[in-house]
A and B are shown apart, each in its own frame.
Chain A
Amino acid sequence: MCGIVGLFLKDKTLEPKLGEMLSDMLVTMTDRGPDSAGIAIYNSENTNKNKIVVQSDTPEEAFKDLDQSLAKSLAVEVTIDVKSTHAVLTADCAFEDIKAALATLDPTIRVMSRGENLEIYKEVGLPKNVAERFAIGAMSGTHGIGHTRMATESAVTTMGAHPFNTGMDQCLVHNGSLSNHNSLRRKLRREGVHIETENDTEVGAAYLTWQMQNGATLGEALESGLDALDGFFTFVVGTKDGFGVVRDPIACKPAVMAETDQYVAFGSEYRALVNLPGIETARVWEPEPATVYFWSHDDTSSATGKAA
């Protein structure tokens, strides 16, 4: 099953409540998947610095003085904000350099997300516990997506949890199962794409990243994903300034959306949306199969249909 949610705010006055609203939506979806949960939040800060969220199974040892050792090897200022098993590292230098330095310092540290505004928090456990562990409810932001997992294609681990980071400030959550992930993983690895786990969604995420590295826009990548990915999927994706939805042509994985002047919201079920302000009068609809929907803070929104 899996439960997915997304919330894109149009009304800036709601931004301080984004974490609270999104966690509430995800907790409602708990009985769609109890294995692991995760939330990606985009904040509105404009620091122009790279932010990397890392995870460790032994955070006390791994994150102790990590900022100082990183600062030494990178020769730039590094700040660290430890939240349970995760830590947010901020540094004014390229992601690849930070990643390389991390790999040398402690290869057991895993990267959850990278970008200027994106932070991904995910762990094994129920949405309620994951949200509390990382104090998601107190986070503000412009948009975010969340996932609660019922594992089918790979192990229940932190790395198998969603959202998956697909590139700088990009992430994706998935409800469904891809059936051609093994062959696509081999193909992508031949192209030099790094894929960490045996998880199907990671392959979907890596495919989109690879497409975009080769010049596709997110919309184009999602559209070519409709051809390249075999199986069931409802994807919700987040980018630095926007949020998109696409379902496979068969569309058996549920999806419902709501839009008001204040927000655009996505839920696997209507239950996830019922506590949003003004939901009684919102435009509520089911996204069409094989159609890419996208909303952006640049004030452009679109839906492009593609024949199945």
Chain B
Amino acid sequence: MQVIDMETVALRELNETLHAQTDTTNQTKWVIDNPKGAHAIACGLDAPIEVTVKGSTGYYCAGMNKQATINIKGSAGPGVAENMMSGTVVIDGDASQYAGATAHGGLLVIKGNASSRCGISMKGVDIVVHGNIGHMSAFMAQSGNLVVCGDAGEALGDSLYEARLFVRGSVKSLGADCVEKEMRPEHLTLLADLLERAESDAKPEEFKRYGSARQLYNFNIDNAY
């Protein structure tokens, strides 16, 4: 196990060290001490390694992640796992605004609550939030799954494309063109798998599914160029 203490190692050196890991590295377990809310910790990783961040992080932790498994032992600041491509990011605490924004793939698990704009413009990522999410979540979400075991804030799924949203608790309000949809067997199977991978004991049957009504301007073929 490799340990990097941010009290003594600069952020750039830390990230360069992690970037230097390749697909065949035998240094597969990393621990980062004293993150103290620093920005851009473990950003842009592209190797099958496990990184444990022992504390809370600032902006853009685990951004653009590929392959790596990153576990934040505290809470995460704005833009955690932004534009993630693959791999897994697990946050033991809460996540600030726009968690998982624009992410293309991988799994983002937030064990506490997520703030506003969770999964905004998501493009294929799976996000599972054990607690609640804030307003404007999944705004213009294009693809992927957002699972919320608690409640959702205002304007959920506004201007949604093809992403699937599953909420167990209440939804304060739905955004433009977002509607409740029937839960079919394939959705229950999908949910069961996501909940298991996210270590949630919620039952798929307790959720409601929301998606795009496909009524906005851009869904009308006559408006295409």
Q: Which residues of A contact B (CB under 8 A)?
A: 249, 251-252, 254, 256, 269-274, 284-286, 289, 308
Residues of A within 8 A of B77 (CB): 254, 256, 269-270
Q: Contact at A271–B36, with CB atoms within 8 Å?
A: yes
Q: Contact at A270–B58, with CB atoms within 8 Å?
A: yes
Q: Contact at B94–A254, with CB atoms within 8 Å?
A: no
Q: Contact at B96–A254, with CB atoms within 8 Å?
A: yes
Q: Which chain A residue lies CB-closest to B36?
A: A274
A-B contact pairs, 22 of them (CB 8 A): A251-B135, A252-B116, A254-B77, A254-B78, A254-B97, A269-B59, A270-B56, A270-B57, A270-B58, A270-B75, A270-B77, A271-B37, A272-B37, A273-B37, A284-B56, A284-B94, A285-B94, A286-B96, A286-B115, A289-B134, A289-B135, A308-B154
Chain A: minimal CB distance from B91 (Å) = 13
Q: Which residues of B contact A (CB under 8 A)?
A: 36-38, 56-59, 75, 77-78, 93-94, 96-97, 115-116, 134-135, 154
Partner of A271, one of B58, B116, B135, B154: B58
Of the candidates A274, A285, A308, the one having the most CB atoms from chain B within 10 angstroms of its own CB is A274
Residues of A within 8 A of B97 (CB): 251-252, 254
Q: Which chain B residue lies CB-closest to A271?
A: B37
A252 to B78, CA, bound (A): 10
* Contact A270 B37, CB 8 Å, known A251-B97, A254-B96, A289-B116: yes
Q: Which chain B residue lies CB-closest to A280?
A: B55
Residues of A within 8 A of B36 (CB): 271, 274
A286 to B115, CA, bound (A): 8
A305 to B135, CA, bound (A): 14
Q: Which chain B residue lies CB-closest to A285?
A: B94
Given A269-B37, A271-B37, A286-B96, 20 more A-B residue pairs with CB atoms under 8 Å apart are A249-B135, A251-B97, A251-B116, A251-B135, A252-B97, A254-B78, A254-B96, A256-B96, A269-B58, A270-B37, A270-B57, A270-B58, A271-B36, A271-B58, A272-B37, A284-B94, A286-B94, A286-B115, A289-B135, A308-B154
B contacts with A: majority SS: loop
Residues of B within 8 A of A256 (CB): 77, 96
A289 to B117, CA, bound (A): 12
A contacts with B: majority SS: loop
Q: Contact at B75–A284, with CB atoms within 8 Å?
A: yes
Of the candidates A270, A271, A272, the one having the most CB atoms from chain B within 10 angstroms of its own CB is A270
Chain B: minimal CB distance from A303 (Å) = 15
Residues of B within 8 A of A251 (CB): 97, 116, 134-135
Chain B: minimal CB distance from A29 (Å) = 11
A271 to B74, CA, bound (A): 13
The 7 A-B residue pairs with the shortest CB-CB distance, nearest first, are A271-B37, A270-B37, A274-B36, A270-B56, A286-B115, A269-B58, A274-B37
A249 to B37, CA, bound (A): 25
A254 to B154, CA, bound (A): 18
A269 to B76, CA, bound (A): 10
A274 to B75, CA, bound (A): 13
A284 to B96, CA, bound (A): 12
Residues of A within 8 A of B96 (CB): 254, 256, 286
Residues of A within 8 A of B78 (CB): 254
Q: Contact at A271–B38, with CB atoms within 8 Å?
A: yes
Residues of A within 8 A of B154 (CB): 308
